[in-house]
Amino acid sequence: MPESIGNSNRISREYIDSLRIETRYMDAVSPSTAFTLYGETFASPIMTAALSHLDRFMFPGAADALARGAKEANAVLWYGMAEEDEIGRLAAHGARMIEIIKPYADRGVIRRKIEHAEKLGLLAVGIDIDHAFGPEGGPDFVNGIEMKALTTAELKEFCAGTRLPLIVKGVLSAWDAERCLAAGAGGLVLSHHNNRIEYAVPPLALLPEIADMAGDVPLFVDCEIRTGMDAFKALALGAKGVCIGRPLMTAIRENTETGAGDYLKKAAAELAKAMAFTGSADLNHIDASVIHRV
């Protein structure tokens, strides 16, 4: 059986592409993509994904290029696993930043990283729950460091113990969403983390159900979000914002200085087009009924 059959990235891409958009021109206006998150306003709800180890996997300075691009585009910068000095260096570029922390088996590491994020004045902090297990079903090890699944009680303790909104990344079921919301999560990222499990449900397929549960708690989506049109579909189905990952890595390779910012601004313009063509005056007036699945 070809490896692509169960690839969750391919499944997510096909689902996004199966969603069609109807147009609504009468009484439409030029839209605003202005995006407010945790009391601060940004150019659009299109943000960077929580990428990790860019300087090692790409080239020295790649992470800084991502941070500069987010600042240039007035977009939220998400970032993943990194040492404290790297987080501080990226935050110093001026983009408002969200750090996503791995589910370290040593919970003291999580607490210290949350405290560091608070000291830096980051926009929010989060925990990546879907890196708890490795390919054989045992504990995952990242850079030789053991991970461990969180309990609802532990998550509740982390949420209560920080003044920052605490986002849970890796939610891909109503089961996890219900428990994370009950624990006090300040946001959820619907994600299968780049095919960590094969045959995963596309995040957009679960959005309406989880949005009904979440109330005012913001939902975010990654996995195969590549364009402003993809972002529009996610927003229509209940997302507050979206995160773009691998396309930004390509943009940085092609143009280290302005690639990330240019890509984010282009995606925001594509979102504005979709909003204009559907009578969506602003992000609060995107009607889910414009989306049809074929």
Active site (catalytic) residues: 193
Spatial contact of 229 and 19, defined as CB atoms under 8 Å apart: no
Instruction: List Cβ neighbours of 166 (8 Å cut-off, separation of 6 or more).
Output: 114, 124, 125, 126, 127, 158, 159, 184, 185, 186, 187
DSSP label of 105: S
- Cα–Cα distance, 58 to 253 (Å, whole number): 8
CA nearest neighbour of 152 among 177, 125, 169? 177
Spatial contact of 281 and 26, defined as CB atoms under 8 Å apart: no
> Could you tell me the maximum CA-CA distance found in the chain, to the nearest angstrom?
58
Distances (CA, A) of 292 to 103, 106, 225: 37, 45, 18
CA nearest neighbour of 165 among 189, 141, 149, 145? 189
Measure CA 3 to chain center: 26
Structural tokens at position 112: 């210290």
- Cα–Cα distance, 144 to 147 (Å, whole number): 10
Torsion of CA 247, 192, 130, 48, to 10 degrees: 30
Helix axes 152-160, 174-182, angle to 10 degrees: 40
Strand partners, 79: 51, 99
